[in-house]
Structure 1
Amino acid sequence: MYTNSPLTPHPIDARRPGLRLLAVGLAVAAGMTLAACSSGEGGRSSSGKSVDSLASGTPTSGDAASKGGTHDSAVEAKRSQLRLDTSPEEDQRLTDAYNACLQAHGVPMNQERAAAAGAKQAPPKVGEADSPKYRPAYDACLVKLPRQPPETSPETNPHYADDYRAYVKCLQNRGMKIHLISDTSVSPDGLAWTFDDDTTGSLPESKIDQADRSCSLEAFGGK
């Protein structure tokens, strides 16, 4: 189980570029990365299928992770800005700081997932960002939630649709059995990918994180 990429958790198991940060990608490569698309936890279902959409890492630009809706300009100015080439270590460090803040504010954490991944910091449990009870916590910790690379958002990248299609094509060429779908959960122009019904022979999960990073740079970074 891991994140939505190009570089970030979502109640719908979303996989989006840029979401490596939050719970969505938290378990595979770095132990617990983003993004899950919005402070929730995306990833693989028991059937082995998962969806990938762009957002926020998780947990991004347009951050669905902030369910409280408070986007004060002073807070936004203090948030870290991720780049397409942000290292997994830095990504993880920022993700852990955000999740630690949520935990300190009383948000229930998925300790089982952390233990299984060998991670020190657990991500929030699925769906807690949607609970009115914990919205104040998400608002308070928004300042620690990094902004996703601007290239991975349709609001800040005029070539987003073409880039995202190139990103999905790159993943397919690397052996992932996936296909493109529309995802309006974060943006009306959002795109995502989901696994095919038949994933026989698909790229091993252990290699997906590296493929995701490489394809993100290639498609969104013009490389």
Structure 2
Amino acid sequence: MINGRERTTPGGSTVQTPDMNDQSPASKGAVQKCQGRLPLQPPEMDEAKNPHYLDDYHEWITCMNEHGVPVEATQPLGSGWTYSRQSTVPYDQERKIENDCKKAAFSK
């Protein structure tokens, strides 16, 4: 099952996912309170600092699909990804594929 906040893995466990588009007062308050405490992302992951960001992003999504994690880009392009269908890859392996593909795509 896939919906906006949770996903059931092939093993049957439920994984909570953050809602990056949450505009509720509680979410906005949390963002404002933590604004100066959030870790900085590497420059390769910053679209404003990496002139090849969208190419790298596309490579990341493509790599994940090639390794069995069915994902698609979200809009606006470059903002993230979502599952395109139920994955058959175990959750721990998905995280490894996601991280390995991200490193390969953004470390050139």
TM bucket normalised to smaller = 0.5 to 0.7
Q: 1:58 to 1:47 in 2, by over 3 A?
A: closer
Instruction: Give the match for residue 13 of structure 2.
Output: none
Q: Which amino acid aligns with 1:210?
A: K
Residue of structure 1 in register with 2:80 after alignment: 192
Q: What RMSD, in angstroms, separates the aligned Cα atoms of the two structures?
A: 3.7
Q: CA deviation at 1:155?
A: 1.5
Indicate how the Cα distance of structure 1 residues 143 and 160 shifts in structure 2: closer, same or farther if over 3 A, else same: same
Counterpart residue identity of residue 175, structure 1 = G
For residues 97 and 105 of structure 2, the distance between their equivalents in structure 1, rounded to whole angstroms, comes to: 12
Q: Which structure has the highest strand share of the two?
A: 2
Query: Which residue of 1 is the match for residue 27 of structure 2?
Result: 129
Question: Is 1:172 aligned to 2:68, yes or no?
Answer: no
Structure 1: unaligned runs, 5 residues or longer: 1-11, 14-42, 68-125, 184-188
What residue is the counterpart of 2:56 in the other structure?
A: 163
Segments of structure 2 that go 5 or more residues without pairing to the other structure are 11-16
Structure 2 Cα separation of the partners of residues 127 and 204 of structure 1 = 35
More helix per residue: 1 or 2?
A: 2
Q: Is the 8 A contact 1:164 1:191 kept in 2?
A: no
CA contact under 8 A between 2:71 and 2:83: conserved in structure 1?
A: yes
Counterpart mapping for 1:95-106 below 5 A: none
Say if 2:72 and 2:81, in contact at 8 Å, map to a contact too.
Answer: yes
SS state at 1:182 partner:
coil
How far apart, in 1, do the equivalents of 2:59 and 2:78 lie? 14
For the residues of structure 1 that align with 2:97 and 2:6, how far apart are their CA atoms?
Answer: 17
Identity rate, percent: 24
Structure 1 distance, partners of 2:8, 2:25, is 18
Look up the match of 2:14. Answer: none
Could you tell me how far apart the structure 2 residues matched to 1:204 and 1:127 are? 35
Taking structure 1 as the reference length, the TM-score comes to 0.36
Paired residue type of 1:211: I
Q: TM-score, normalised by structure 2?
A: 0.67
Contact 1:161 1:191 in 2 (8 A): no
Look up the match of 1:154.
47
Question: Larger RCO: Structure 1 or Structure 2 (Cα < 8 Å, ≥ 6 residues apart)?
Answer: 2
Separation in 2 of the partners of 1:203 and 1:161? 26
Mark the CA change 1:174 to 1:161 in structure 2 (over 3 Å): closer, same or farther: same
Equivalent residue of 1:169, what SS?
helix
- Give the counterpart of 2:90 among 204, 208, 215: 204
Asked whether the equivalents of residues 9 and 90 of structure 2 are also in contact (C-alpha less than 8 Å), the reply is: no
Q: How many residues get paired?
A: 101
Amino acid at match of 2:107: G
